[in-house]
Structure 1
Amino acid sequence: MLRSVRARTTVGATAVVAGALIVAGLAVVLLLRADLAGRADLQSEVAAREVAAQLAAGVTGDRLDLPDPEEHPVLVVDASGRVRAADKDLRDVGGVPVRPSTRIPPGGDDHGGDDDDDDSRPGRGEISQDVDFSTATATVDGRTAEFRFASLRVSTPAGETLTVRAGASLATTREAVGTVARAMLVGLPVLLAVVAGVTWLVTRRALGPVEAIRAEMAAITASGDLTRRVPEPGSRDEVADLAVTTNATLAALEESVARQRGFVADASHELRSPIASLRTQLEVALAHPELLDLEGVVEDVVRLQHLAADLLLLARLDAGDRPAPAEARPVDLAALVEEEVARRSADRAGAAAPGRPAPVVEAVIEAAPRVAGPRGRVARVLGNLLDNARRHAESVVRVTLREENGTAVLSVADDGPGVPPADRERIFERFVRLDDARSRDEGGAGLGLAIARDLVRAQSGTLTVGGAPGGGALFEIRLPVSGGSDSRKG
């Protein structure tokens, strides 16, 4: 069983070439045989007409100039089939002895003409235009060979109708066909061996880079070192494209693994603080129950619960989690904005950073587009952006909803210090806090914006940050509209 691509390619190419050569060889032999047979017919006809011309001119008997019988045996018979003239070295034709008293059966099995047809008889001193061809053996000077005979009728000046049969040897034809056939039989295996060898070498050279890629991938798998890359050949072909794509895949895999490891490390670090705080309070309570701070314990547990929920959500998003079709119902963004703004306007306690009054949350709704659900995820995105804006705003947070060319645009702006241009992408990374001096309790774990962007991307949308017109940060969400909308001012 041929298991390698190289072997299958070699066998397939050799088989195809062999089939093509066999068909071409048969065609050449048949065409050559037909061409040589046509030449033999022509030669025999020419010889017959030369003798017939002499008979039409009145030359008879021993005065006839006959060609060499070994090349063109000729005999002349009368209407009854008796031999009237023949070379002395011609012994028999078709097994019938050539003698003056012998009757030779008429030749001409090719055309099947009627010898008794009066219309086909030539006039006095004329040669018939009808020629019949046949193949028969003839013995000349003791050697028997096969000849192609041409038969035609001629009328002498005396009005006697004679038939001239002249042959052309087929030995040259058969020898030429045999030589070509033998040459092909000898050359075919040699040519096939050359084709197989060249195909094997070319295939090996073509598949060499593929083998190098496979070996390097096996080594990378065995070692687990994702910093290694497969060799890229200098050729500009499909193998080079495969190597480039493989290296791109390895780079993406390396980045993914590094990101996962960093995520695990950051998550462990973030979980360690609330767990350590909770353990400390419990140990103090164990030794001194009267010092137990239940409110602090509850806060640490709640914070730990929220952090675990955020980490679980990020892990599900990384795994490609998508909402079920039943959950992906259109969400009315205008109603969602009004609901979230009302909830945060009612709960202004602890909405701002220490030392600053709680900011006012305003909503400007210009349209009511619908976007794909689930509603909880869209609400989570808007909630995270509002919570982030309230922590940094000086006095006001403004939410604007509009629609542009089939896209819902939801903006959240604050009048706080804003985000430096150099950090506008970094803030969407996980566990990133721009203010290192800010405590974890005040600034959170640094997952809110990362979760918001991942959720928006899962909805085929975008989340960007820029500068607000009046100063501060401007977060803008763009989501494809999945239903109609109502234009309205707010």
Structure 2
Amino acid sequence: MRRLWPTTVRARATVGAVVVVAAALALASFALLGLLEAELLRNAERDAARQAETVAQLAATGDLERMRPPLHGVDFVQVVNARGRVLRATPNLAAAPSIAPVKPLRPGTAFHTWRIGTLGGEHRQRVVQVTTDTPQGMVTVFVGTSLRDVDAADDTTTAALAVGGPLLLATVALVTWRVTGRALGPVEAIRAEVAEITDRDLHRRVPVPPTRDEVARLAQTMNTTLDRLESAGNRQREFIADASHELRSPITVLRTQLEVALAVRDPELWPELISGALEDIERLQRLASDLLLLARIDAARPVAAVRLDLGSVVGGAVGSRLGDRVPVGTELASGVEVEGSELWLTRVVTNLLDNAQRYAVGRVDVVLRTTGGPHGRTAVLEVVDDGPGIPPGDRERVFERFTRLDDARSRDHGGAGLGLAIARDLTTHHGGTLTAEESARGARLVVRLPVAARG
């Protein structure tokens, strides 16, 4: 059965439509034939019953001699006594025995459908049987009417359905096949285009049909996905190129220092050369750690929902810093709870403080507060320094990986241009935002996180 069942959506839709229409057509045909036959039977019974009741009244009064010829639509009349003797009959049943297969036992009216051989038997007869008491005993009146009209209607309707049904099913199959083919044509075009797209062809896009239906929305969603894949691919290539560039510089300097140390025979110069090499190794370690963290962030699943006191996390990050160049002032609201990773949120605060310490002149301020909104409360963490600030045109660029506004100065201070990028990625991973905003003096970096719902 599985091998016989169609494998394509188009074929399954066609078979399904044909099966449904065939079932509906069969039910409608049976209902139509049943209603038609019932109506025609009622019409035949009405004429026969009227004739039978009239003859039965004559028999009850002993006036069978006054029996008139059959009404229109009545084929025969036969009157039989309790012993089966025919008392009266129409000419077409002259000298014929009683047509009743069994003798009636009590007065009443009954309806039968028989084939009367003496009338030719080409059509069925609807027989009305009326039994009544007379002065001579019990008498049964049989009045029959032909069902030729019923049989003819049944035959005509059956023939019409036998011819029209397959034609209708063929039409349904053809229309369904064509319609599903037209509907699925764009899907096949999308599939064929996606099948040809490789990692080097992410700039290609699938065709969007002008139908504004589910297929068009599928194509738009596919193109949006391809946009994200292309963006991710470009970002990965840029990241690899930038990382290679960043690694090349300290490795080159380290190699030079080691070569100089080998060439210099004066032991008094070795401590200075080794100290410089250790500084470059430390820089390489920090860069490798940042690159590893970025890779983990990109591949990380949603943050585990752990309720944290953000004020305690920020206070702990500030309190653990020793030897900062400029003092850090804090103004932390209490009872600000968020859901996320304490380790990652601490890294966000640390990176923001590192950036502020790098450029501050004499002061760094950390402020934590909450704001209300139509969709709930928001925790707002601000890190402000009194340094040169960030030009408006660069307030978004500073969050790109390996970006330095002052390349030489950043290198002197040990920055690789990854701190703010890591901080933003971690914030985004917690469902928040990190932006550089307007400040009267220096740089003002603002983290916004959704406050945890009250349990």
Deviates more, 1:404-413 or 1:423-432: 404-413
Match of 2:235 among 235, 249, 259: 259
Give distance in 1, aligned partners of 2:26 and 2:88: 48
Corresponding residue SS for 2:366? strand
Matches within 5 A, 1:212-361: 212-221=189-198, 224-290=200-266, 291-292=269-270, 293-320=273-300, 331-342=308-319, 344=321, 346-348=322-324, 351=325, 359-361=326-328
Match status 1:380 vs 2:357: no
**Alpha-carbon offset, residue 417 of structure 1:** 2.0
Matching residue of 1:472? 442
Matching residue of 1:354? none
Alpha-carbon contact 1:464-1:476 (below 8 Å) kept: yes
State TM-score, norm by structure 2.
0.86
State TM-score, norm by structure 1.
0.80
Give the greater-gyration-radius structure (CA): 1
TM-aligned CA distance change 1:172 to 1:439, over 3 Å: closer
Matches within 5 A, 1:39-58: 39-49=43-53, 51=55
Q: For this pair of structures, how many residues does the alignment match?
A: 442
Give distance in 2, aligned partners of 1:461 and 1:82: 106
Corresponding residue SS for 1:438? helix
Match of 2:187 among 210, 214, 234: 210
Residues 88-135 of structure 1: per-residue CA shift (max 9 Å, x gap): 33256xxxx34xxxxx376799xx7614xxxxxxxxxxxxxx533233
TM-aligned CA distance change 1:90 to 1:457, over 3 Å: same
Give distance in 1, aligned partners of 2:328 and 2:120: 127
Alpha-carbon contact 2:330-2:365 (below 8 Å) kept: yes
Q: Structure 1 unaligned segments of length 5 or more: list them.
A: 99-103, 116-129, 352-358, 485-490
The one-letter code matched in structure 1 to 2:50 is V
Match of 2:31 among 27, 31, 37: 27
**Greater share of residues in helix:** 2
**Alpha-carbon offset, residue 296 of structure 1:** 0.7
Deviates more, 1:405-414 or 1:10-19: 405-414
Deviates more, 1:395-404 or 1:269-278: 395-404
Give distance in 2, aligned partners of 1:26 and 1:483: 63
TM-aligned CA distance change 1:37 to 1:373, over 3 Å: closer
Corresponding residue SS for 2:384? strand
Residues 304-345 of structure 1: per-residue CA shift (max 9 Å, x gap): 11001101111110112566x6xx76555445544544555x
**Alpha-carbon offset, residue 85 of structure 1:** 2.6
Give distance in 1, aligned partners of 2:327 and 2:59: 133
Alpha-carbon contact 1:73-1:90 (below 8 Å) kept: yes
Alpha-carbon contact 1:47-1:72 (below 8 Å) kept: no
Alpha-carbon contact 1:409-1:478 (below 8 Å) kept: yes
Corresponding residue SS for 2:194? helix
Match status 1:10 vs 2:14: yes
Matching residue of 2:112? 134
Q: Structure 2 unaligned segments of length 5 or more: list them.
A: none
Match of 1:67 among 65, 70, 73: 70
Give distance in 2, aligned partners of 1:363 and 1:163: 116
Alpha-carbon contact 2:47-2:71 (below 8 Å) kept: no
TM-aligned CA distance change 1:335 to 1:27, over 3 Å: closer
The one-letter code matched in structure 1 to 2:155 is G
